[in-house]
Amino acid sequence: MARQELAARGLASMTIRQVARSVGVDPGTIRHYFPSKDDLVHAAAGADIELSEVYDQIAAELSDQSGEGVGDALIAAALRYLCEEESALAAVAVCLTGGDYESTVFGLFDRDVVTPLARDLASGDSQERSALVMSAFLGFQLLATLLPALQHTLRDEDVQAILAESIERHLRAG
């Protein structure tokens, strides 16, 4: 429910009281588990998955150190783990309202999957490369959030066709 409130209201407007009201509990109950609004937001926008396993799976799928196919593998993982509707909307809301990107599902995916892949595949600044990749993911999710018809029109294969080549180029460039 906190994810829905965060997505609907944004970080600045969401309150613990509103979240408590929406689930029918006393605000003190929420504060017992989440002492601050930041704690609640981090839990709401965070990942419910073990991302090191995602990195290991993608790295194992790559045929060699050239990284050929990394764009497709990364998009497939992103579609599985980043685009779960409530987490993605909460993460977009956090990012748009100046919240803590590192604690969102996008920030965690960046830290635990994209940056290590960038480090493995190319010389140069892996953080710069991962920032390019994550801006593509976040931009696409923002577009899908603002244009819901887009979300229902595009298939996963369409998203891969749109993003995979540029993501692979960002990760593999030397």
Query: Is CATH 3.40.50.970 what the domain over 2-44 is classified as, yes or no?
Result: no
Residue boundaries of the structural domains of the chain: 2-44, 48-172
Confidence (pTM): 0.62
Q: State the amino acid at position 152 in one-letter form.
A: H
CB contact at 8 A, 47 and 81: yes
CA distance 152 to 8: 19
Task: Identify the band that residue 46 occupies on the pLDDT scale cut at 50, 70 and 90.
Answer: low
pLDDT in tens, 49-87: 567 777 888 887 775 556 677 888 888 887 777 666 566
CB atoms within 10 A of CB 107: 21
pLDDT in tens, 154-167: 777 887 888 888 88
Please give the CATH architecture assigned to the domain spanning 48-172. Orthogonal Bundle (1.10)
Element spanning 58, H or E: helix 51-61
